[in-house]
Amino acid sequence: MGQFESKLAEMGVTLPEAPAPAANYVPYVQVGDIVYVSGQISKGDDGLIVGKLGDDMDTAAGAEAAKVCAINLLAQVKAACGGDLDRLVRVVKLGGFVNSTPDFTEQPQVINGASDFIGEALGETGKHARAAVSSPSLPFGVAVEIEGVFQIK
């Protein structure tokens, strides 16, 4: 087990099999050393994490959903690395979408669930640019969807 997966194990996280997309596209595309990963939704071991921030889900639960998205992103990156996550050079950019009501304003705190997890797991390699916005709704009613750009070697 590589350095990053060892750290994840220490944090109690095992990467799932990279979830397959629900449609006619692919989970990631590599161009040169850059990997574009499709938007990953908050779907964990126990199924979809659905909810709307500002309505039936609070910010802490939203951050937990964002962490699940980050785990799914790393699972895809691991697949892109042929199974060796230590080939990850840099988390370049995350684009986070929060399923929320029109008066919800804590998008950053929700997406921090992903950013903080990645920061703890990957250290300097995990320091990324980011956008965090809301969507009025997301696929299957999930709470969070996050896409990402990664540099690998």
**Angle of helix 3-10 relative to helix 107-122, nearest 10 degrees?**
120
Phi then psi for residue 8, to 5 deg, are -60, -40
Q: Which residues bind a second copy (CB under 8 A)?
A: 21-29, 31, 33-34, 36-39, 52, 54, 90, 92-95, 97, 100-109, 111-112, 115-116, 119, 127-141, 145, 147, 149, 151
**Would you tell me the crossing angle of helices 59-80 and 107-122 to the nearest 10 degrees?**
40
Smallest distance, Å, CB 86 to a second copy?
18
Round to whole Å and give the CA distance between 107 and 86. Answer: 30
**From the CB of 115, what's the least distance to a second copy, in Å?**
5
- Cα–chain center distance at 152: 17
Residue 55 CB, shortest distance to a second copy, in Å, is 9
For the bound state, the minimum distance from the C-beta of residue 3 to a second copy, rounded and expressed in Å, comes to 20
DSSP code, position 62: H
Phi, psi of 151 (to 5 degrees): -105, 130
